[in-house]
Amino acid sequence: MKYLKLAEFYEEASDTTKRLEKIEILSKFLKQLDECDRDVLYLLMGDIYPEYDDRKIGISNQLALKCIAKSTGINEKDVLKEWKNIGDLGRVAEKLVSNKKQSTLGGKGVLTTDKVIDNLRKLPGLVGKGTVGKKISLITELLTSASSIEALYLVRTLIGDLRIGVKESTIRDSISSAFFNSEEGASKKIQDAIDKTNDIAAVFDIAAKKKLSGFNKLKLEVGKPIKVMLAEKALTIEDAFVSVGKPCAVEYKYDGFRMLIHKEGDKVMFFTRNLENVSSQFPEVVDYIKKYVKGKSFILDSEAVGFNKKTKEYKPFQEISQRIRRKYNIEKLRDELPVEINVFDILFYEGKSLLSEPFQKRSVLVRKIVKNHPYKIVTSKQIITSDEKKAEAFYKKALGDNQEGAMFKNLSAGYQPGRRVGHMLKIKPESKDLDLVITGGEYGTGKRSGWLSSFILSCRGKKGEFLEVGKMGTGIKEKSTLDTGEDISFNELTEKLKPYFLKESGRTVKIKPKIVVSVTYQEIQNSPNYNSGFALRFPRFTALRPDRSPDSVSTLEELKKDYDSQKRNWRYG
């Protein structure tokens, strides 16, 4: 397939913000795809592999800028100047390629999607001496052959900023429309297939044959992580019981990080909720799984919680977060920052998916196959009750054990990957904390000059867009902390954000939503200054969340609930 055809689709899709129009445009495009074009589905999401695959394109803005300069023959400083003026590297490439084509005979041939995918898939595997030069060569080869519109979307794909507004749900409904005329039940079948495979191209393969029954062939597989199920927030224990029903399971809400555990024979793998493979970072947990969990093949959902080796007191997430990030000195970290695995769910066992099985059945199986060894691996602390007083006592016990709170779970509900569900709720103390993503910043002055000193925080809107909710500048250290994992300095946070800078204007910076942070705040106020309509009063940084993706941050709906709860407390408190 010609890449130009895909680029023209990108352009048409980006011209409308209306979801139904995007679905119609994408449906027509999908009908034109041949079976050999299946990998184009990944490009629709701005990627080159299925979502479960942790190989990423990984090209920084700075490297993309060098490639634009080399392919157009324009000095890097001039390209940088254009970027500062336009604020979009894709548009910079479009403009400069257009100017070049007007003054030359053009490119070196017709660009195809196969060629684009082939070159881009070589990038993640390049390591060692000469890597940067090889990457520039592969990308320049594409840009040299690209038309202006192709250059625009090639560069946006490289830096992970496609900007066409097509999400998984858009593709799902477009597949339903294109191949099943939006037949009743088709979207659910397609979503179930996506949930089980995390592979949009595999789903397209089945859909193109126009048989809904074909989706039954797609199975959950060990080694291919799926998105975890997420909890909604309850304001009170009474509200939780109303939502999930009585009796229900009440469990500890652990202050750790999510860990999906996959085992097939002797091979054990671990994935974060962000689908990052962290198997090599936890060698001791591999031993725990092999020794204390019965079964040849399974997928477990769990929370890894840190503890003090001497006192056995549980630690907050931020003190052990570096266990996710560090890929060296593993043995030293293992000794200094031990973790306990708390298993609370099972998704797959001995060749069979359990996603549609009721939670109570899954919970019983977990407790049957996991042999508890405190401070190594245990099943989650749980009671099944209809009694609000018992639930409250259990909740207080969780807090006394240095955990975040309690989870309330409907006993008959299935497991729904990648969604916040009303049949699983969380309750935490009124500490007023949120997970948010950084989308902007401002350079400091005086002793903070040279790095960002305040950071724009954003939540997620109904359509998946990011909406600003305030500026954060406290809770961050002045000087380097040598990556202790417990806190972070202004210069360290700035360095982490630099690869995602989109546009600089004076002292302000627009930042691609990639870095997720946990913050506390005093209260939520109405505010016309931010596009969410709300502002956090005194937001304070508490932790980096490398285990969480921007798509999983707190939603505008959650902020509204907290705001309404605040008003009720003012009125009646």
The residues annotated as belonging to the active site are: 253
Single-letter residue type at 221: E
Pair 375, 390: CB distance under 8 Å? no
Sign of CA dihedral 326, 327, 332, 336: positive
Q: Name the nearest CA neighbour of 19 among 174, 161, 138, 129.
A: 174
**Side-chain half-sphere of 554: how many Cα atoms within 13 Å?**
25
Single-letter residue type at 476: I
Pair 458, 466: CB distance under 8 Å? yes
Pair 247, 384: CB distance under 8 Å? yes
Dist CA 146 CA 158 (whole Å): 14
Count CB atoms within 10 A of the CB of residue 561: 16
Q: CA–CA distance from 36 to each of 1, 4, 114, 205, 210 (Å)?
A: 9, 17, 9, 10, 17
Sign of CA dihedral 503, 534, 550, 254: positive
Single-letter residue type at 258: R
Furthest-apart CA pair in the chain: how many Å? 79
Q: Which phi and psi angles does 281 have, rounded to 5°?
A: -80, -10
Strand order in the sheet with 420-427: 230-233, 420-427, 405-409, 248-253, 382-385
What stretches of 245-358 show up as alpha helix (H) in DSSP?
Answer: 283-292, 317-320, 322-325, 330-336
| Residue 292 in tokens | 């204390």
Helix (H, G, I), strand (E, B) or coil at 248: strand
| Residue 127 in tokens | 């390591």
| Residue 469 in tokens | 């909710």
Residue positions counted in the chain: 573
| Residue 494 in tokens | 């700035």
Pair 516, 545: CB distance under 8 Å? yes
Count CB atoms within 10 A of the CB of residue 457: 29
> Residue 405 contacts by C-beta under 8 Å, 6 or more apart in sequence?
253, 395, 398, 399, 426, 427, 428, 429
User: Which residues make beta-bridge pairs with 507?
Assistant: none
Dist CA 558 CA 236 (whole Å): 14
Pair 160, 512: CB distance under 8 Å? yes
Single-letter residue type at 110: V
